[in-house]
């Protein structure tokens, strides 16, 4: 099994050393771990991310550890880029300058709101209106036009705090999935949602079925922000995936894909 979404202390809101994350993955019997730490250029979230200047050191550290642990586990290096239109070109330039294994794209901000922040959930994310969902999907849609992304992370994270999206959200999601297939992008099964009020993987099992029907490849990530979260809820998620019809995951090496049976 693989975990392609693990953070590090560099993002200022995760605990544990990179070695501890790797050790946790080894203890859980994973064959691969991929660091996918935040690169957020949006000023609302840049204190929750590495800075652009940290990128070379982060990549170097992951590669060194990859070498050090190569007999026990495969260590990959990637970035979780926050998609904010204003900074998209700058972020895309970073992905060209450095040789990562995988680049993930995520939407964390809808206008002035950090939609994944628990602070915000106490205020107004608990019951978002239809326009909010529409704006979120507009950003996801726009993100798909950038060719730098290999993987779309936590596709329906907008449900994180437990609100059920309206029917229109799922209708529009069908269009988004068609575009993901057309653009030949991989979708992440992000198991962190099972630890959130949503209590469901991202994307929802109902969406997963449609992903399989559209033949969209998938990868797996825990979104661990602590070493013990590596590989969380994977047994449950594998069952969901297999029920949807999937029999393989996608891994990445220097942005080239390969298949991993499950
Ligand atoms: Zn994220
Ligand atoms: Zn993440």
Would you state the pLDDT for residue 46?
Answer: 86
Would you state the pLDDT for residue 145?
Answer: 97
Would you state the pLDDT for residue 107?
Answer: 97
Instruction: Please give the Cα distance from 177 to 43 (Å, whole number).
Output: 29
Q: Ligand 2 center to residue 80 CA distance, Å?
A: 6
Alpha-carbon 202 to chain mean position = 9
Per residue in 36-72, is it b (16+ CB within 10 Å) or e — as a string?
bbbbbbbebbbebbbeeeebeebbebbeebbeebeee
Would you state the pLDDT for residue 44?
Answer: 87
Would you state the pLDDT for residue 155?
Answer: 98
Q: Ligand 2 center to residue 105 CA distance, Å?
A: 10
Q: Ligand 1 center to residue 80 CA distance, Å?
A: 7
Per-residue pLDDT of the chain (262 residues; tens, 9 = 90+): 999 999 999 999 999 999 999 999 999 999 999 999 999 999 888 889 999 999 999 999 999 999 999 999 999 999 999 999 999 999 999 999 999 999 999 999 998 888 888 776 545 555 688 899 999 999 999 999 999 999 999 999 999 998 889 999 999 999 999 999 999 999 999 999 999 999 999 999 999 999 999 999 999 999 999 999 999 999 999 999 999 999 999 999 999 999 999 9
Is the separation of the CB atoms in 130 and 166 below 8 Å?
A: yes
Q: Ligand 1 center to residue 11 CA distance, Å?
A: 11
User: What value does the CA radius of gyration of the chain take, rounded to a whole number of Å?
Assistant: 17
Would you state the pLDDT for residue 115?
Answer: 87
Give the ligand whose atoms come closest to the C-alpha of residue 153.
1
CB atoms within 10 A of CB 99: 11
Report the first-to-last Cα separation within the chain, whole angstroms. Answer: 7
Instruction: Please give the Cα distance from 44 to 113 (Å, whole number).
Output: 9
């Amino acid at each position: 099994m693989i975990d392609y979404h693990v953070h590090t202390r560099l993002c200022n809101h995760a605990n544990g050393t990179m070695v501890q994350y790797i050790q946790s993955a080894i203890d859980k019997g994973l064959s691969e771990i991929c660091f996918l730490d935040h690169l957020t250029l949006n000023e609302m979230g840049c204190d929750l991310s590495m800075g652009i200047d940290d990128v070379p050191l982060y990549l170097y550290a992951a590669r060194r550890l990859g070498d050090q642990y190569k007999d026990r586990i495969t260590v990959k290096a990637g970035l979780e880029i926050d998609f904010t239109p204003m900074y998209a070109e700058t972020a895309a330039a970073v992905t060209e300058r450095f040789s990562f294994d995988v680049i993930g794209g995520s939407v964390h901000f809808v206008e002035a709101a950090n939609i994944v922040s628990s602070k915000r959930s106490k205020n107004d994310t608990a019951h978002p209106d239809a326009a909010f969902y529409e704006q979120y999907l507009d950003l996801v849609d726009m993100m798909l036009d950038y060719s730098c992304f290999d993987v779309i992370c936590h596709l329906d994270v907008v449900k994180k705090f437990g609100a059920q999206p309206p029917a229109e959200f799922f209708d529009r999601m069908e269009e988004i999935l068609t575009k993901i297939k057309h653009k030949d992008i991989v979708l992440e099964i992000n198991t962190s949602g099972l630890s959130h009020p949503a209590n469901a993987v991202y994307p929802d099992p109902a969406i997963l079925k449609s992903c399989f029907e559209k033949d969209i490849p998938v990868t797996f990530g825990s979104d661990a922000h602590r070493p013990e979260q590596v590989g969380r809820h994977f047994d449950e998620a594998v069952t969901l995936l297999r029920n949807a019809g999937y029999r393989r995951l996608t891994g990445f090496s220097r942005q080239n894909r390969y298949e991993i049976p499950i």
